[in-house]
């Protein structure tokens, strides 16, 4: 299996020998799956330590919801939410912390507080200063494809050729990053499941993920508990399936297994313990 080595401050990520797990902590009142659950510093710290104990390789901390139709928050609010948690958690866990933000100032201060990866769903389009922050701090950057913005991305998303358009977007995003002085060896790509895609688009992405292997970059997938899974597993008589239902967890594991078999090297999830088991089996199959 192709292996990559990324430098994350005092940590080194070995990607590819086995699939790595990024555990999610949303410090928000309005995230689609767990909004408000980890708003207090104590609950967020406890959750971070739990995810590490369960087997997470990275903790991804975000202070702004990116669910469909979400309203943006100020960088001051975002900083108030994430900085105390990152500062405290960085001293307690021995794995890299990722900051999930599109704002350069938030990313910079988060890195100073102890984060060592930047997860930017806008692929550095929202804030022109983001590339400078990545270059200065010499940290990995996750570049994600998104059609539109969280506020409008699910209003009739349309593609003539889904994979070709995502590949074209990511080619430009990677080239822009490299031209800005970011090392290509510090870039992770994410096709953005659920970000400006219909349910059918998401299924095609998982099915055809191998087509992104030509980038020769680590691929991250984030399908955890998303609406297309909830819609697939809910009974026909039921209107809505809650994200925390066991059926949704099982459905998530199915998408992760398929994605990893098709080339994903990192998965971003809410349920780390279940994912560890899934990946032990899938990685064994891949390595057989």
Q: Which residues of 27-49 are buried (b: 16+ CB within 10 A; e: fewer)?
A: bbeebbbbbebbeebeebbebbe
- 103: annotated active-site residue: no
Q: Which of 18, 230, 249, 268 is catalytic?
A: 268
DSSP structure class, residue 70 = P
Q: Which of 103, 197, 226, 249 is catalytic?
A: 226
CA-to-CA distance for 275 and 256, rounded, in angstroms?
8
CA-to-CA distance for 278 and 268, rounded, in angstroms?
13
Cα angle value 245/251/257 (rounded, 5°): 145
Q: Tokens 């975002």 — which residue?
A: 78
Which residues does 175 contact at the CB level (< 8 Å), separation at least 6? none
- 125: annotated active-site residue: no
Q: Name the nearest CA neighbour of 145 among 130, 159, 128.
A: 159
Which residues are catalytic, by number? 226, 268
């Amino acid at each position: 299996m192709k292996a990559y080595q990324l430098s994350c401050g005092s940590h080194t990520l070995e990607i590819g020998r086995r699939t790595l797990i990024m555990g999610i902590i949303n410090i928000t009142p309005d995230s689609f799956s767990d909004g408000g659950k980890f708003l207090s510093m104590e609950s967020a710290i406890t959750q971070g330590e739990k995810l590490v104990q369960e087997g997470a390789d990275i903790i991804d901390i975000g202070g702004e919801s990116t669910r469909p139709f979400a309203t943006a928050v100020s960088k001051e609010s975002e900083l108030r939410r994430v900085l105390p948690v990152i500062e405290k958690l960085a001293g307690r866990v021995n794995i890299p912390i990722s900051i999930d933000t599109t704002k350069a100032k938030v990313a910079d201060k988060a890195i100073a507080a102890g984060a060592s990866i930047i997860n930017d769903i806008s692929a550095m389009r929202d804030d022109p200063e983001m590339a400078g922050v990545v270059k200065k701090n010499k940290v990995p950057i996750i570049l994600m494809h998104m059609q539109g913005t969280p506020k409008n991305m699910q209003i009739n998303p349309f593609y003539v050729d889904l994979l070709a358009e995502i590949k074209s977007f990511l080619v430009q995003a990677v080239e822009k990053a490299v031209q800005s002085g970011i090392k290509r060896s510090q870039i992770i790509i994410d096709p953005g499941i659920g970000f400006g895609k219909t349910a059918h688009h998401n299924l095609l992405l998982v099915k055809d993920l191998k087509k992104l292997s030509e980038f020769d970059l680590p691929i991250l997938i984030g399908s955890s508990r998303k609406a297309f899974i909830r819609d697939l597993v809910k009974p026909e008589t039921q209107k809505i399936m809650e994200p925390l239902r066991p059926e949704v967890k099982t459905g998530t594991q199915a998408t992760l297994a398929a994605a990893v078999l098709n080339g994903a090297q990192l998965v971003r999830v809410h349920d780390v313990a279940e994912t560890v088991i899934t990946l032990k089996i899938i990685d064994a199959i891949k390595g057989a």
